[in-house]
Amino acid sequence: MAIVFQKPKALTDVPTHYCPGCTHGIIHRLVAECLDELGIEGKTVGVAPVGCAVMAYNYFGCDMIQAPHGRAPAIATGVKRSLPDNVVFTYQGDGDLAAIGTAETVHSATRGENITVIFVNNAIYGMTGGQMAPTSLPNQVTQTTPYGRDVKTAGYPVRVCEMLSTLDGTAYAERVSVDCVKNVMKAKKAIKKAFETQIAGKGFSIVEVVSACPTNWGLSPVEALDWLRANMLPYYPLGVYKDKTEEEAE
């Protein structure tokens, strides 16, 4: 019988620990499919964050490093500067990338560090049980904003792609979602383009994936995707925020 669908080779044969309805699984698959299609698994080094994806090192088949909280872009920098011909990516959540690791994120982008960042934005700290994230929406109820995120005291969410697109070192920044088949296809194209940007030596590339966390949002998987569409996408519009990939190398 012809095989019409199978697990990407760049994913290990290990069951993941993710919750039912969590979109990390889809995003892992998309990254792995891109590694397969580009034929780069053997020369790729991935950097796992602290957060729900901390154990991504068990799931990706390429060499992996587990980073201190927020430091993945600094570690990726160290790897890339040592092995410039290898492909280096980080896989980070919103707390990791946009709170504790903001400096590492912004400065690796502004240096034009030739790495790829996969940024999973689900507007909550998942691993620690659902606290407010830097990307939690105004009025969003979390464990640490039990009355809803009050922007007067807790401030406003960070729009990462918009922020990084102002930096000259950012070569490619796109925000995608994995809430429906059409958007999953688009997300894969964006992730592949981000890796291609790195392979072409164009500089820093980031794909922000707007994601669902049914467990900590207190919703069913289907309700979570509805909530994502109704609340997150208006605040975090999908699209390409920066694309210097067609520009001639300086």
Partner 1 sequence: MSERVLMKGNEALAEAAIRAGCRHFFGYPITPQTELAAYMSKVMPKIGGTYLQAESEIAAVNMVLGAASAGVRAMTSSSSPGISLKTEGISYMAGSDLPAVIINVQRGGPGLGGIQPSQADYWQATKAPGHGDLHVLVFAPSSVQEMVDLVGHAFDKADEYRMPAMILADGMLGQMMEPVAIGEGSGGSNVEKPWAANGHKGGRKHNIVNSLYLQAADLERLVKERFERYAVIEEKEAMSESYMTEDAEYIVVAYGASARVAKAAVREARSQGIKAGLIRPITLWPFPKKAIKDAAENAKAFLCVEMSMGQMIDDVKLAIECSRPVEFFGRTGGIIPTPAEVLENIKKLAGGDK
Minimum CB separation of residue 50 from partner 1 in Å reads 9
Nearer to partner 1, 71 or 244 (CB): 71
Distances (CA, A) of 1 to 4, 5: 9, 12
Q: What angle do CA 239, 124, 80 make, to 5 degrees?
A: 60
Report the sign of the C-alpha dihedral through residues 131, 175, 137, 181, in that order: negative
Q: Would you count residue 71 as binding partner 1 (CB under 8 A)?
A: yes
User: Per this entry, what is the length of the chain?
Assistant: 250
77 touching partner 1, by CB under 8 A: yes
How many residues lie near partner 1 (CB under 8 A)? Answer: 36
Residue 82 as a binder of partner 1 (CB under 8 A): the answer is yes
Tell me how crowded residue 239 is: count the other CB atoms within 10 A of its CB: 12
By C-beta, is 23 or 44 nearer to partner 1?
44
Q: Nearer Cβ to partner 1, position 204 or 236?
A: 204
Compose the 51-70 pattern: x for residues touching partner 1 by CB under 8 A, - for all others. ---xx-xx-xxxxxxxxx--
What's the half-sphere exposure (Cβ side, CA atoms, 13 Å) at 26? 22
With both helix axes pointing from N to C terminus, report the angle between 102-110 and 72-82 in degrees, rounded to the nearest 10. 40
Asked if 81 is part of the footprint of partner 1 (rule: CB under 8 A), the reply reads: yes
Interacting residue ranges for partner 1, rule: CB under 8 A? 12, 41-45, 47, 54-55, 57-58, 60-68, 71, 74-83, 86, 103-104, 106-107
